[in-house]
Structure 1
Amino acid sequence: MTYLIFLAGLAAVFLLAFLVSNDRKKIKYRPILIMLALQLIFTYFLLNTSIGLILIRGISRLFEKLLGYAGAGIDFVFGGLANEAAMPFFLNVLLPIVFISVLIGIAQHFRILPFIIKWIGFALSKVNGLGRLESYNAVASAVFGQSEVFISVKKLLGHLPRHRLYTLCTSAMSTVSASILGAYMTMINPKYVVTALVLNLFGGFIIANIINPYEVKKDDDIIEIEEDEQTFFEMLGEYIMDGFKVAVIVGAMLLGFVALIALINDVFDMIFGITFQTILGYVFAPVAFLVGIPWGEAVSAGTIMATKLVSNEFVAMMDLAKYSKEMSDRTIGIVSVFLVSFANFSSIGIITGAVKGLHEEQGNTVARFGLKLLYGATLVSILSAAIAGLFL
């Protein structure tokens, strides 16, 4: 039964992508099948082998150490502000982003990250049927984040046709930034965070290949990475401030979204006798079922999945913690994988604003395909959750 549901979910995702394809005749099926096979292999390796478990534990311990170091700085600045045994969300989950951002800045300054990103991107371009620029951008998005990644290719933005720009934006919305991984790992099991990162990377290429198929000419496939000319301490200051801005922005969005959802829920409850999130749960229940969640838990899971779409992944992760006692471990794992991406309505504005700040005309182009961008990125999340469900 598990395999039949997986095949049905896979068929639904591919059909939904196929229906909005820009040019169905240009879809390259061989790279899609190769990447789907790689997703299955990597997911099995990470979730069902002792080596995969050791790898995930190692990554988890690394982030635990990093969060511990971040905690030393937080305690120095904010020590005594919170009660003992309390765990304020902003201090314990969001502020460590500042330290992780600093580490990324150091790796970027010493040209470690550009080297890794360039060659991983080059290897991916051999199997994904897309160009080196698209492959580079996908890996870079998973390091820098959905808005910052465009800075590294800003000189090319004005020369990119609409179809290539769509693929770049889909990768940015489908992945998550390295600076925020530690925050996720304090809220959901690290093994699902790592698994989702791998799945989303390939999933973004798969969905882009169906919705937005095209050929890249060799002469057009040039990567021009923006060089960092700052001194070491200038870089440190910039990345510290960037990390703090991200923490504050996420905190502000959480404050606004949680309050707004509470208001909408209360209004719906008074008028209809049912909360807005519960309605969303019923709408998303079929999606939850198709990714392998038992029907008895599909409404609760669908509520969390829909909450992520209309608000963001942090709000949804907090809701998952509330519902977790009522859910099986398998359902928690599938939903967790679904949540690890930037695919939500607010990301349309974030990506549009980032591109517009670098190139006005291309920013307007992104705004015009914004909903289709979210549609594709959401299909990536559904595909990742379905594959995870097969091995949980």
Structure 2
Amino acid sequence: MLGIAAIVAIAWAVSENRKVFDWRGVVAGLALQFGLAFLLLRLPGARDVFLALNGLVLALQDATRQGTAFVFGYLGGGPAPFEATQPGNSFVLALQALPLILVISALSALLWHWRILPVVVKAVSAVLERIFAIGGAVGVSAAANIFVGMVEAPLLVRPYFARLTRAEIFMVMTCGMATVAGTVMVLYASFLSQVIPGALGHILTASIISVPAALMVARLMVPGVEKTESDGSIPELEYDSSMDAITRGTEQGVQLLINVTAMLIVLIALVALVNALLGLLPPVFGAELSLQRVFGWIFAPYAWLIGIPAHEAATAGELLGLKTVLNEFIAYLQLAKLPADTLDERSRLILVYALCGFANPGSLGIMIGGLVAMAPQRRGELVQLAGKSVLSGTLATGLTGAVVGILW
């Protein structure tokens, strides 16, 4: 509860107009977050649904492995033509796990073409518009962030984007920073499922309940009451046929796969380089300095505020720091690798929610590039709001972690 109060206070403290405090937005945001979290986490049968979703993850993994094994042979998960002396080292991330992005990207495009996801987006949008008194343009974009990425969601309202107010643009940006795309949800769940039962259900829930948190935090940091309406049309995601959807979805997945692979190589290499430089310094508290240890010290108080016990706060702070400075993919990988006795079940669960967002400099660059292309005349405003959106996205996911920590 202290963490929730602190996050609301921080958002108001850095507001562009501290004379305005949106009580309605705060009450609506917290009520919707707690309500959704209770329904999705505490309702009888909710955990069974989450575990059933894990079966979906395994099915998608197995189906993807069929494709990778056919193309890459034993490197892609097929049977090895020799006896493996160390079977545990036979897993190749780039050829066995990351191709899941291609399958999910194609499936997402197909679900858009079959009008399944648009119906869900419009329904969620209607709820958000009514509760938060926001315009249709922001409502559609915010709802779409549950399923698609930070650039694809605003594309749904591209005809209206240039006319959004400053406050509305910031809400769109914050929702993009506080959620993750459907194309990577299953990927994250695939390696978290070993340490978090029902991982896919938790990641999907995190993306859902972070949307009201994002809208609430955004309205505190950049107040505004004007609304821009939208007819909810989605011209940018229309496909000629099911095969066209699969083809174009796969093409988009290829680009995402290349980007993710390249960013992982570069960011992990940079972390190793920084750690090598820090290793030249004298030991601190009996151990060599590392980027992870520094992040742990910086983010430990924040981790404690959102519900992590004090003795685990430094470890959780390392993961929160990696997510904020690098990206959530690396943070989730590290979370999955932690020894079982490092964090308890509740702490791991809080971190799954608190890490579930694109709020980092790399993702910010991608989002700004996409939004500027949609509204070049608003470039200056978008750049001004860029840094704020990383903070607001981080606060929103932290709020989600704190809410889950209370209810779990």
Q: Tell whether the structures are fold-level matches, with TM greater than 0.5.
A: yes
CA contact (8 A) 1:269 1:276 kept: no
Gaps of 5+ in 2: 81-86, 284-288
Letter in 1 for 2:259: I
CA contact (8 A) 1:101 1:240 kept: yes
Stretch moving more, 104-113 or 25-34: 25-34
Q: Secondary structure at the match of 2:132?
A: coil
**Does residue 46 of structure 1 match 2:40?**
yes
Runs of 4+ residues deviating >6 angstroms: none
CA separation of 1:229/1:317 partners in 2, compared to 1, >3 Å: closer, same or farther?
closer
Letter in 2 for 1:329: E
Q: Distance in 1 between matches of 2:29 and 2:290?
A: 40
Q: After TM superposition, give the deviation of residue 103 of structure 1 in Å.
A: 1.2
Match of 2:160 among 152, 156, 165: 156
Equivalent residue for 1:140? 144
Q: Distance in 1 between matches of 2:392 and 2:208?
A: 17
Equivalent residue for 1:209? 219
Matched pairs, number: 384
Q: Distance in 1 between matches of 2:38 and 2:126?
A: 25
- Deviations along 1:329-353, whole A, 9 cap, x unmatched? 1211111211111111112101101
Q: Distance in 1 between matches of 2:203 and 2:95?
A: 21
Equivalent residue for 1:357? 373
Q: After TM superposition, give the deviation of residue 286 of structure 1 in Å.
A: 0.5
Q: Secondary structure at the match of 2:50?
A: helix
Q: After TM superposition, give the deviation of residue 197 of structure 1 in Å.
A: 1.8
Letter in 2 for 1:90: A
CA separation of 1:129/1:92 partners in 2, compared to 1, >3 Å: closer, same or farther?
farther
Aligned residue runs from structure 1 range 94-105, under 5 A: 94-105=98-109
- Give the % identical residues: 27
Q: After TM superposition, give the deviation of residue 257 of structure 1 in Å.
A: 0.6
Which structure dedicates a bigger proportion of its chain to helix? 1
Q: Distance in 1 between matches of 2:233 and 2:272?
A: 44
Aligned residue runs from structure 1 range 8-157, under 5 A: 8-82=2-76, 84=80, 85=87, 86-157=90-161
Letter in 1 for 2:31: A
Instruction: Tell me how large the CA RMSD over aligned residues is.
Output: 1.9
Equivalent residue for 1:298? 313
CA contact (8 A) 1:356 1:363 kept: yes
TM-score (structure 1 length as normaliser): 0.92
CA separation of 1:43/1:242 partners in 2, compared to 1, >3 Å: closer, same or farther?
same
Match of 1:366 among 364, 378, 382: 382
Q: Distance in 1 between matches of 2:9 and 2:161?
A: 31
Q: Distance in 2 between matches of 1:251 and 1:330?
A: 31
Q: Secondary structure at the match of 1:321?
A: helix
CA separation of 1:158/1:198 partners in 2, compared to 1, >3 Å: closer, same or farther?
closer
Match of 1:327 among 343, 348, 365: 343
Q: Secondary structure at the match of 1:80?
A: helix
Equivalent residue for 2:170? 166
Equivalent residue for 2:230? 222
Q: After TM superposition, give the deviation of residue 165 of structure 1 in Å.
A: 1.0
Q: Secondary structure at the match of 2:297?
A: helix
Q: Distance in 2 between matches of 1:187 and 1:207?
A: 30
CA contact (8 A) 1:17 1:376 kept: yes
